[in-house]
Amino acid sequence: MALSICRSVYGRSIRAAKRFQRVNLVQKQKRFLDLHEHHSKDLLARHNVRVQRGILATTPQEAKAAAVQLRKDGARDLICKSQILAGGRGKGHFVEDGFKGGVKVCDSPDEIEEMAGKMLGKHLVTNQTGPEGQFVAKVLIHEGVDFVKEFYLAFLLERAYDGPVIMGSPMGGMDIEEVAEEHPDKLKTLPIDLREGLTKATAMEMAEFVGFSKDAIDDACVQMQGLYDLFMKNDCVQVEINPFVETTKEHYDSKVYCVDAKLGFDDFAAYRNKEIFSWKDPSMEDPRELKAEEVGLNYVGLDGYIGCMVNGAGLAMSTMDVIKLHGGEPANFLDVGGGANEQQVEEAFKILTADPNVKGILINIFGGIMKCDVIAKGVIAAAKTVNLEALGIPLVVRLAGTNVDEGKALLNSSGLDIQAASDLDDAASKIVKASGN
């Protein structure tokens, strides 16, 4: 079940591309900014949402000092959390030595120091990272809270309602996709009228559904309204709190806390949120995707062997589908867009051929704003620059639309070994055969 509903065709299609070969893909949301937990919680606090006190550390010694400070401030329990852009950290393991758990509850500052030493500088593997894991450069040391109930809460954009929704479940702390599949009655979605915002009545309905006690229900509504304020004022595509907890009455007076937060932001609104986008962590990104972003391309790496270059997100998805239909496996989603120039096409080739798994390249272009002769010139220049023939990578090109005859003529007279295709089905068949898999 897709829980993040995106604001653009590109975003939806790229997220779909991420799911195209789910076995070991890194689940990152391209065209959207993801933040580390410590940044997310800082932002939540700015909108008067209650989070645990925490201090960031980059060394075991800093982690111990942070724990000492939190104890002075009254923290009862201490937690050491690896900071990577993936979920499932608590159940993860580290590549280097097999140490299990990227989140540890500790009894003392000395234990915090020990746990930080076992996490920092290593690669944490979770069910969302792939086998290579993500590098842990920072840990968040924060106070623990005793809670009696944990819930799931999210604000999303939902096409079915033409706007934002609030989604909740009494089954917090679990994989929400699993909840949706196995316990659909435990998941509720309520639309939010943009003119009214999140009303007290809607917040109360959700709080009652997930199961807050009478002691905590008013505070839960206040926290929900703060989360909605954050969602709307920062161009979010997702605000997900899992778990959203009700603390014990004995120690925390039944207050509501956001224990873990996952925020996603629309890249197209970066100019309005410059501070937030300055928090982006390039070390967590696929370098190919960063390179594509630099030159104005949309790229998502997959785990197949046929490189795909298209113009248009929908065309990208259909191209990958037809490759699969013919028994092939797409190596990527690469959309050069409607206005790419020859230089961008050349850069696209460099990105494709930099992937050692690519055994063949399929170019599928429908010329509208992007003219076929421009693509052809870029293809020819790029094929010569990267010396495609010397690399032994076959190339199949299908062109249709504006200036298609001029484009085909350029390719035919190029002297390069380029297979022409009459349609997408023909193109997919030829590239799968030529790739030798």
Question: Catalytic residue positions?
Answer: 152, 240
CA distance linking residue 105 with residue 371, whole number of Å: 58
Nearest in space to 150 (alpha carbons), one of 182, 126, 183, 176: 176
Paired sense of beta strands 77-82 and 103-106, if any? antiparallel
The answer to whether residues 254 and 248 touch, using CB atoms and an 8 Å cutoff, is yes
Q: Which two tokens stand for residue 41?
A: 């919680």
Find the length of the chain: 437
What are the φ/ψ torsions at residue 22 (nearest 5 degrees)?
Answer: -80, -10
Judged by DSSP in three states, 276 sits in: helix
Residue 409 CA to residue 411 CA, distance in Å, equals: 5
Strands, DSSP E only, in 159-200? 163-169, 188-191
- CA angle (340 as vertex; 19, 431 as ends), nearest 5: 55
Question: Could you tell me the two tokens for 270?
Answer: 């970066």
Per DSSP, 132 falls in state T
Task: Indicate the SS3 state at residue 383.
Answer: helix
- Inter-residue contact 339 to 370 (CB < 8 Å): yes
As given in the structure block, the two tokens for residue 364 are 């599928």
What tokens appear for 123 in the block? 């690669």
Which of 327, 324, 330 is CA-nearest to residue 361? 330
Q: Tabulate helix, strand, coil % of the chain (nearest 5).
A: 40, 25, 35
Query: Which residue from 340, 398, 409 is spatially nearest to 373, judged by alpha carbons?
Result: 409
Bridge partners, residue 256, by sequence: 246
